[in-house]
Structure 1
């Protein structure tokens, strides 16, 4: 009897998969931020003015934001293992190549390709966690990989700064790119869909399926059609989630672009102090993401509805993120960092929005819906730096910008309260499961 029990005991391959997603997402953000670390020295060597450098920064966002939907389409058509894995290798390779740039055009092209290759990453994370994790574990799983972005920036920015100071800006890109290339080897060795994984037994697959996981989502890849896109874009719940994700990312892109300048110009901190201070809110966001995921799964296990379990930490996160406006009322460096850390901690809590994509997407369209969702969020990466810059040039102060960001975050909370109603999976109608309509043509 004991031998039979040992044989039927479920494996835990899903945790290995999650660990690799965490590492991959951390590498993802290290590669994104490598240019910002190298820029102060790199722009002098390449003779780049502020405008040229700004355009080079934007190259990633333009490619990344507008290729989310094609990236999601590829995930649903060919699977996350291949599409995401190839993307990981390509973006790492082209990060490595940035160590060889000799001018603006080459830098722009390489950053653009990095944005193209990273486009399937977060929709891929969502698809894999939906396939590997039952609903009562999915909130924590999403919080782990989602928090990796902040972990990577907080931990490795000082490392990249040390490489820059001790060696050269070239080495920053070499190390960041090589790290991703090595991770891609582990990816192809250990990442598979549940039913195709050589180390996952039937007991684990049954456990995933019985808990609402989509371990069989890859059995019948579907051809994506315009009607599928229309279904998602006209669904009330999805519209509310898309709006809210744009709102949530306003504070992220403020931190990724204007926050150091804010500390120097508005709060008169030295660059040395800014280098340390700027990493603290990212640690807060990392912890907030973990807390939000655990709270969501705890509420679900306590018998709360899926909607209450998922939306509660998200709405709390939106509301507390808006405290960023309180920084307008103090000049104390310690208090400013406390306010910003609380705000970004709350932003991390609200990161469970990705769990809803796994919970609510049609099981055939998780990648596509993740792509639309992430497009909505990353439009903030284009809009917010420009809007904040315009406010700053007009008012010569960040005060109005922080009020603007706080107001947008409140809109996100209201979107989840009043627009996102029921949390339930969207089912494809029978006519959209057939192959009679024109194929969606995606320009990659």
Structure 2
């Protein structure tokens, strides 16, 4: 009997529990971005009802990012201190139920206010949503670093990161239809209710590698041998680190030329992201004369291309990693090629044929998807002692673009009466991202922190 057991053990197949983890990250991130897009879909009709001009709309669009940026470093510190599962539980199950989802629901009641009060109420509620979601992407990055070996990490990151495009494919037509048929406030009712449901699903699915009921020893050995930090959260709960030490570690990150290049690159890549999830549907309605319903469906076409590009970028990156063994080639090649391709959106300024406009935007979104590998770079470079804090710092710099881009585009459109300058503004950011990775970043490698006084 013992020999039979040993034989069975020797032929035991490796489980793939990590795939279900990334599926859950994909679902949660899809909702995350669907929620962010509520204002972009409902924006034109809402602006008419409350008398919001392009500049005011730009500020309301940016409200989410003000809080999202502010919450990054505290959120990253919490992730390192208490672990991904506990903090994500607190963020999604507590904040999502009572703030993220419920305040998204409450946004549907802004029409009970009047005049300037509507703008203040809407800005405040979107600010709270951003604060609630702050730990999400640093948490995603930590979970991927804990569950996936280096040679699979690019694909894993691209899958959850591509959810931003999938969210547009799924939610833009639904929200466009709701706005057209029953009014813009119902968009917020729908997204709020869906968030509550997803919150409970997360609690059931997510576990740490060593505690997951569906993982066997072979999978643990495989991912650990490939560089997965399977004991990350167990270690993080045992050590209390003084703030002075954390600050010294942050200064080391800020003093790294590689990280500065990565931060600038992510800021510029996110300029494209925030154009698409805030102003793009408004561009289709105001600059191209589409109806809200049509814009909702048309916006899903570039999003499909972005989704395909997002997944393909990760697959290409991991293929290059296996073929060359070089993180520089594997990560930089898709980023540079994708950002160069995304610059074709500027051509929309010179055509008036609808299918060509959609085609250029689809190609630009496809390129942006391929190049959106910043979180894979972060998983490769973040010091293991402060992976959550490092991800929070990275996401903070990246999402400052979420504050600047909507406001800048609002001023450009408000001043010129045209979106032409806005498309050039976004295209230039794609070029700067390319230069940042080619000139500043240098060798991509994990940062080894030096001892800090008091450690």
Of 378, 386, 401, the match for 1:357:
378
1:54 Cα deviation (Å)?
Answer: 5.0
What secondary structure, in the 3-state scheme, does the structure 1 residue paired with 2:370 have? helix
* 1:91-240 map, 5 Å: 91-101=100-110, 102-103=112-113, 104=118, 105-221=120-236, 223=241, 225-240=246-261
What secondary structure, in the 3-state scheme, does the structure 2 residue paired with 1:220 have? helix
Who is 2:3 aligned against? none
1:196 Cα deviation (Å)?
Answer: 2.3
Who is 1:14 aligned against? 18
Who is 1:3 aligned against? 8
Matched, 1:245 2:272: no
1:39 Cα deviation (Å)?
Answer: 4.4
1:263-319 deviation digits (Å, cap 9, x = unpaired): 344444455543332221111111110010000111112234122111111111111
1:218-264 deviation digits (Å, cap 9, x = unpaired): 23215361011101111111000000111111222222333234334
Of 57, 63, 67, the match for 2:67:
63
**Separation in 2 of the partners of 1:373 and 1:400?**
28
**Separation in 1 of the partners of 2:45 and 2:425?**
33
Aligned positions, number = 432
Who is 2:408 aligned against? 387
Who is 1:375 aligned against? 396
What secondary structure, in the 3-state scheme, does the structure 2 residue paired with 1:258 have? helix
Contact 2:41 2:296 in 1 (8 A): no
What secondary structure, in the 3-state scheme, does the structure 2 residue paired with 1:192 have? coil
Q: Which moved more, 1:74-83 or 1:100-109?
A: 100-109
Of 338, 342, 360, the match for 1:321:
342
1:405 Cα deviation (Å)?
Answer: 2.3
* 1:76-87 map, 5 Å: 76-87=80-91
1:158 Cα deviation (Å)?
Answer: 1.4
Cα distance change on mapping 1:55 and 1:417 into 2, 3 Å: closer
Q: Which moved more, 1:297-306 or 1:268-277?
A: 268-277
**Separation in 1 of the partners of 2:203 and 2:436?**
39
Alignment gaps of 5+ in structure 1: 438-444
Who is 1:442 aligned against? none
Q: Which moved more, 1:334-343 or 1:176-185?
A: 176-185
* 1:389-404 map, 5 Å: 389-404=410-425
**Separation in 1 of the partners of 2:193 and 2:288?**
37
Cα distance change on mapping 1:277 and 1:11 into 2, 3 Å: same
Q: Which moved more, 1:238-247 or 1:405-414?
A: 405-414
Contact 2:176 2:297 in 1 (8 A): no
**Separation in 2 of the partners of 1:262 and 1:95?**
24
Who is 2:38 aligned against? 34
Cα distance change on mapping 1:266 and 1:33 into 2, 3 Å: closer
Contact 1:69 1:372 in 2 (8 A): yes
**Separation in 2 of the partners of 1:317 and 1:116?**
30
Who is 1:287 aligned against? 308
What secondary structure, in the 3-state scheme, does the structure 2 residue paired with 1:218 have? helix
Normalised by the size of structure 2, how large is the TM-score?
0.88
Q: Which moved more, 1:188-197 or 1:310-319?
A: 188-197
Contact 1:318 1:350 in 2 (8 A): yes
* 1:398-437 map, 5 Å: 398-429=419-450, 431-432=451-452, 436=454
Cα distance change on mapping 1:190 and 1:106 into 2, 3 Å: same
1:345 Cα deviation (Å)?
Answer: 0.5
Contact 1:88 1:181 in 2 (8 A): no
Contact 2:59 2:406 in 1 (8 A): no
1:94-114 deviation digits (Å, cap 9, x = unpaired): 323334443334433322211
Contact 1:69 1:371 in 2 (8 A): yes
**Separation in 1 of the partners of 2:107 and 2:323?**
50
1:362-402 deviation digits (Å, cap 9, x = unpaired): 01212111111111111112212232333334444333332
Who is 2:28 aligned against? 24
Alignment gaps of 5+ in structure 2: 1-5
